[in-house]
Amino acid sequence: MPEIDGLRFVAIMAVLLYHAHIHFFSQPIPKSITLEPSWQWLNFAIGHGWFGVQVFFVISGFVLALPFAGQHLTNKRPVDLKTYYRRRVVRIGFPYIIALTLGLLFAVFGGMPTIDAFSHYAAGMLYSHGLFYDGALNPILFVSWTLEIEIQFYLLAPILCSIFKLKSSCLRTVILLTSIYAVHYLAGLINLALPCGIWHHSIVGQLQFFLVGLLLGELYLTYWKDRAASSSHKALYDIVGVGAWLFIPFALEINGRDSWIAYLLLIAFTCVIRGNILKKALSFPLISIIGGMCYSIYLFHGAFLTYFFYNITTPLFGDQKGNWPYNLIPLATLCILTLLACSITYYWIERPSMRWGSKKV
């Protein structure tokens, strides 16, 4: 399914543009826009690219649901949990350890007290920085909080996928649909009863997005895989899908959106899988290739953005925060340089770990 790598492209480009955008504006996340059409709409959309993280969570739920659902729904070979966990550890762990170690070195040489740097490093190595630091981001690798949540989901996935043992497809669908809202509601109650920064930066506050992925896996194997949509339906999926994806950044500032944003992502993903133009666009080779490198880009883009911003784009274009749309030029330059640098880390770090993770033992 090349469109899945295309969805990874959407997720990583949203995150990359968001973090690059921070360098050019004093307010990282714009809170309002003017009513008249202007470049501020683009500024607002890019400034809300952090939703790419939730897109990644939906993708993880979908991809990991397929083998477990296939085992129960289509009588495919049972999932070997030993191989499942080994692949997760090797595939995720090796690049992560390198990125975390480099972050440690940069932090120490950058002036962070050694004992503090090693404390953050040790917590990161245990995928538990949020647990030890009340949900705070790891200063030596600020994106690691999402990987900690991914690990928590990997541990829970075999249990969550037990839902596919139920015989009724309708019952499975209803349970997953209601669970998406229920876990969000329960997370809110937990946060009210025990206020803590860790809830948002843990599986507790993000589980609904993984459940969207499980529901997509259910729908795909049960209804969609062998039943192509008609031409008219594909056109409708494309129209609705384009609207859904464009609406997401603006929906993030609507009051109460936390209770339904996961359903909006469900619609957006459905339209890609069932549509025609959207599927073809996200299956375009260059988009799929960049999407396939998303893990390397995610791990290393922060360091490359900082380096290129201070050593290339600022000397070339100056540092004019808020100068929009002029800042589109250095912003694009910064992102292109970062993508090129991350492609090197993909080739030398991530690809070898993918080969090791796929070997049989």
Own/partner pairs for 220-229, CB < 8 Å, 24+ apart?
Answer: 220/62, 220/66, 220/273, 221/66, 221/69, 221/70, 221/73, 221/74, 222/73, 222/169, 223/169, 224/273, 224/274, 229/274, 229/275
Give 256-307 pLDDT, tens digit per residue: 778 899 999 999 999 999 999 999 999 999 999 999 999 999 999 999 999 9
Residue 196 near residue 134, CB atoms below 8 Å: yes
pLDDT surpasses 90 at 2: no
Give 29-45 pLDDT, tens digit per residue: 666 666 555 667 788 88
Confidence of residue 359 (pLDDT cuts 50, 70, 90): low
Tokens in use for 171? Answer: 């019952």
- What pLDDT shows up at residue 351? 84
Domain boundaries, the chain: 2-294+351-358
- What pLDDT shows up at residue 78? 82
Answer with the residue of higher pLDDT: 32 or 14. Answer: 14
**Which residues are CB-neighbours of 223 under 8 A, at least 6 positions away?**
169
pLDDT surpasses 70 at 193: yes
Give 178-187 pLDDT, tens digit per residue: 999 999 999 8
Cα(188)–Cα(210) distance, integer angstroms: 17
Tokens in use for 152? Answer: 């928590």
Q: Provide, rounded to the nearest whole percent, the portion of the chain with pLDDT above 90.
A: 57
Confidence of residue 72 (pLDDT cuts 50, 70, 90): confident
pLDDT surpasses 90 at 10: yes
Give 252-265 pLDDT, tens digit per residue: 888 877 889 999 99
Cα(187)–Cα(288) distance, integer angstroms: 34
Confidence of residue 360 (pLDDT cuts 50, 70, 90): very low
Give 230-249 pLDDT, tens digit per residue: 888 899 999 999 999 999 99
Tokens in use for 266? Answer: 């469900």
pTM of the shown model:
0.92
